Structure 1
Amino acid sequence: MLVLEYKVKGKQDQYNAIDDAIRTTQFIRNKVIRYWMDAPRELKIDKFSLNKYSTELRQEFSFAAELNSMAVQSAAERGWSAISRFYNNCQSNKSGKKGFPRFQKNCRSVEYKTSGWKLHKTKRRITFTDKKGIGELKLLGKWDIQSYELKDIKRVRLIRRADGYYAQFCVSIDVVDIQPKTGNEIGLDVGIESFYTDSNGHHEPNPQFLRKAEKSIKHSQRRIYKKRKGSSGRKKARKLYAKKHLKGRGEAFAYKNYATNRQLNSANASPVRQRIEHAKKIARNVCKSNDLVAYEDLRVSNMVKNHCLAKSISDASWYLFRQWIEYFAVKFDKITIAVAPHYTSQKCSSCGVIVKKSLSTRTHNCVCGCELHRDTNAAINILNLAKNRGGHPQINATGVGISTLVGDSARSWGFPP
């Protein structure tokens, strides 16, 4: 699947209509969650029963009937996505919290399927034909949706972010860009001191976007509380604060990407969504110049439980970088292998002896005479494990999850995001 995203331009009453459609989506999702919670145990609730219940909601509430029937169905599928995720976590005995479905308080998107919208013949405008009153919106972007057939567009989503409203088109087409083989192989060791260190000894600098913007973000946050509640000044301060977070987080603007069950992660240059743009650029270069990319199979969700390192790990975006590596590996027909991280920093890459060292020790010194930077030694070990098939191929055939690639908290495209 290919996702094209455009910024949309309309009038204020149209934006208000989009907000109304988003609130209706949130209402439908929360109602089906409540229906599942209140259902007796002997009654089996599945995706189809929730879709049927959403039809009953359209008959009961007039504002729900104004939304396109497939958009209502899509909202119910979001509720089922949360329920099925909870069931899967319970069945797999996932440690910690199982993700019991919760009511959504700040939905930021509404999703249409194959009806409720109509593209202009120039494909530079889109008209929403349900009774919410959104009407015709202008599409701002440079992507070539004109080259695709209407029948290939399976989903259309409207997203509200801090800097405006966006439209995403999910096109049923595979993107493949076979790159020539280079014969190169590389091992990557991600870190905090450097974004990553490879087996060739290269240290990619860590941009630390959050650390650099932290002072400005905190200043804008303090300005919110200096304004009176309910005032226009407070609303402006909140909007400025949201834009600062949006810049560092990495949202989407007209970027091609695979569609998945997660958030769509993508980026563009204005404003620069820094974190994703950086991870995307680095991952693309790595996959384009190497036939095999090896990396550690890290459990980042467990590592961020360390409150001393959580902010630095999140700022480095290790898992995001891995997602983009797997995405471009599929696109370029390259191989990625995730290896177990055990003892990659302690083991000597030359003789295999375990050399114990603390985190503060940045140089690897072995009795065999091997002297390397700690991270370079680890990257070589990672590559050796991959070449010895110590790891297993991690080809992400569905690509990177959706952010939205975004201020959007939308969970999925419903392709079981």
Structure 2
Amino acid sequence: MIVYEFKLKGKYKQYQAIDEAIRTSQFIQNKCLRYWMDNPDIKVDKYALNKYCAVLAAEFPFANELNSMARQSAAERSWSAIARFYHNCKKRIKGKKGFPTFKKNCRSVEYKSSGWKLSETRKAITFSDQKGIGTLKLKGTYDLNCYDIKQIKRVRLVRRADGYYAQFVISVDVKIETQPTNQAVGIDLGLKYFIADSQGHVESSPQFYRRAEKQLNRANRKKSKKFSRERKKAKVKQSNNYHKARNRYARKHLRVSRQRKEYCKRLAYSVIQSNDLVGYEDLNVKGLVRNRHLAKSISDAGWYTFRSWLEYFGHKYGKVTVAVPPHNTSQKCSSCGEKVKKSLSTRTHVCPYCGYVEDRDINAAINILKLGLSTVGHTGTYATGDLPSWAVGASLLSNGESVNVESPRL
């Protein structure tokens, strides 16, 4: 599966129609979740929620205006959250099990194989349901003429701070044969260096959020000055100036996230093209950001984004990517194997047993490579046993993002 994204060009009324379709999809999603909560005695599964969509369409005229398969897609989102909750309960995962919650601000609506039609040139798309979206122009560098219409499995409309986008999920084999490089590398992710590999190469952390923090804070203050508490108490919509300032602030955040994503994508592509096997840490980023002293720096680094692209490009180009446990990779000596305890402030590894001296991150990268080489022959490519992150592209993320929207240059 690959995902192609285009920016949509249309009139203001068409954008309003897209917003109405998104609100309807959110309404159906929440209604399906409520139906599951209110009926604990009967079996409510994916098919029962799909049938419930027809009941909602008959009861609410605005729900009937949305395409039937778009209604089913909204129900599938609810079932995805319910199934994840059941899975966590069966696995007895520690802490919260992720009980499904109602959505308040959805940003996308998803169509399946009906409700839309591409033009002959495939530079425009027409939506035929009763929401009144009509024909929208597609602005982008991809060429949909290379694929059959039957290969397009889903179309999603996404609202972002800088406009509206269309994402096409295309069923196609993304694997590409490449010449082996006979190289293997271990990668240590850090804050001082974004990555340090076992060959001694380091890549500095770009810190996109830190660089833009002053502008973001300034835009946030301007937004706050235009916020009216009296309007909120009276439950009246905020002024147009407030919404303009809010949009400017959101666009600045969007720019930072795009910079981070593009950086991680190109770095992962370079690593995969240069090596046949890549070992990296299986970090629990969600748990690491609970550290209030390092949360901002960890979030700014984008470790999970880098891992997602690394796994995707590894699958695409037939390279082996191995996630290894990160325990003691920084403390263990890569030369003699003895454990040398160090604090986070100690950046140089000095082994008192064998006298080996190396940068802390490079020493950890060598240990990661050794673990990767010892793991790959026994448990397969993914040491954790989970699906790789690139597999998420088969069904788009609920926030409108896609992990494998490729750049034309790659």
In the alignment, structure 1 residue 58 sits paired with structure 2 residue 49: no
Q: CA deviation at 1:380?
A: 0.6
SS in 2 for 1:180: coil
Partner of 2:295: 310
The one-letter amino acid paired with 2:372 is: A
The one-letter amino acid paired with 2:223 is: I
CA–CA distance in structure 2, aligned partners of residues 224 and 298 of structure 1: 36
Aligned ranges for residues 199-278 of structure 1 at < 5 Å? 199-229=198-228, 230-249=238-257, 273-278=258-263
**Contact kept in structure 2, 1:293 and 1:335, CA below 8 Å:** yes
**Contact kept in structure 2, 1:107 and 1:410, CA below 8 Å:** no
CA–CA distance in structure 2, aligned partners of residues 202 and 393 of structure 1: 27
Which of 330, 333, 343 is 1:358 aligned to?
343
Q: CA deviation at 1:412?
A: 8.8
The one-letter amino acid paired with 2:279 is: A
Deviation digits for residues 186-224 of structure 1 (CA, Å, limit 9, x no counterpart): 000000000010001111010011111112111111111
Partner of 1:374: 360
Residues 405, 111 of structure 1: alpha-carbon distance in 2 compared, 3 angstrom cutoff: closer
Q: CA deviation at 1:29?
A: 0.3
CA–CA distance in structure 2, aligned partners of residues 276 and 232 of structure 1: 31
Partner of 1:127: 126
In the alignment, structure 1 residue 342 sits paired with structure 2 residue 327: yes
CA–CA distance in structure 2, aligned partners of residues 228 and 365 of structure 1: 55
Q: CA deviation at 1:179?
A: 1.6
SS in 2 for 1:329: helix
Which of 268, 286, 301 is 2:286 aligned to?
301
- Structure (1/2) with the larger helix percentage: 2
Residues 59, 405 of structure 1: alpha-carbon distance in 2 compared, 3 angstrom cutoff: closer
Q: CA deviation at 1:392?
A: 4.3
Moved over 6 A (4+): none
Note the aligned Cα RMSD (angstroms): 1.9
Residues 207, 2 of structure 1: alpha-carbon distance in 2 compared, 3 angstrom cutoff: same
SS in 1 for 2:307: helix
CA–CA distance in structure 2, aligned partners of residues 369 and 389 of structure 1: 28
Residues 369, 228 of structure 1: alpha-carbon distance in 2 compared, 3 angstrom cutoff: closer
Q: CA deviation at 1:393?
A: 3.7
In the alignment, structure 1 residue 409 sits paired with structure 2 residue 399: yes
In the alignment, structure 1 residue 182 sits paired with structure 2 residue 190: no
Residues 60, 114 of structure 1: alpha-carbon distance in 2 compared, 3 angstrom cutoff: same
Q: How many residues align?
A: 387
**Contact kept in structure 2, 1:347 and 1:355, CA below 8 Å:** yes
CA–CA distance in structure 1, aligned partners of residues 391 and 114 of structure 2: 26
Partner of 2:390: 399
Q: CA deviation at 1:369?
A: 2.2
**Contact kept in structure 2, 1:116 and 1:128, CA below 8 Å:** yes
Partner of 2:88: 89
CA–CA distance in structure 2, aligned partners of residues 21 and 364 of structure 1: 57
The one-letter amino acid paired with 2:390 is: G
**Contact kept in structure 2, 1:338 and 1:392, CA below 8 Å:** no
CA–CA distance in structure 2, aligned partners of residues 392 and 302 of structure 1: 25
Residues 356, 218 of structure 1: alpha-carbon distance in 2 compared, 3 angstrom cutoff: same
The one-letter amino acid paired with 1:10 is: G
Residues 122, 21 of structure 1: alpha-carbon distance in 2 compared, 3 angstrom cutoff: same
Give structure 1 stretches of 5+ with no counterpart.
250-272
CA–CA distance in structure 1, aligned partners of residues 291 and 135 of structure 2: 49
The one-letter amino acid paired with 1:399 is: W
CA–CA distance in structure 2, aligned partners of residues 204 and 405 of structure 1: 31
Residues 83, 283 of structure 1: alpha-carbon distance in 2 compared, 3 angstrom cutoff: same
**Contact kept in structure 2, 1:324 and 1:400, CA below 8 Å:** no
Deviates more, 1:391-400 or 1:312-321: 391-400
SS in 1 for 2:158: strand
SS in 2 for 1:364: strand
CA–CA distance in structure 1, aligned partners of residues 289 and 167 of structure 2: 31
Q: CA deviation at 1:332?
A: 0.7
Partner of 1:73: 72
Deviation digits for residues 266-316 of structure 1 (CA, Å, limit 9, x no counterpart): xxxxxxx11110111000000010001011111111111111111111111
Give structure 2 stretches of 5+ with no counterpart.
229-237, 404-410
CA–CA distance in structure 2, aligned partners of residues 120 and 283 of structure 1: 36
SS in 1 for 2:245: helix
Q: CA deviation at 1:164?
A: 0.3
CA–CA distance in structure 2, aligned partners of residues 412 and 111 of structure 1: 13
Partner of 2:235: none
CA–CA distance in structure 1, aligned partners of residues 36 and 396 of structure 2: 30
Which of 269, 272, 289 is 1:287 aligned to?
272
Partner of 2:231: none
SS in 1 for 2:155: strand
Q: CA deviation at 1:338?
A: 1.5
The one-letter amino acid paired with 2:249 is: Y
Partner of 2:28: 28
Residues 24, 195 of structure 1: alpha-carbon distance in 2 compared, 3 angstrom cutoff: same
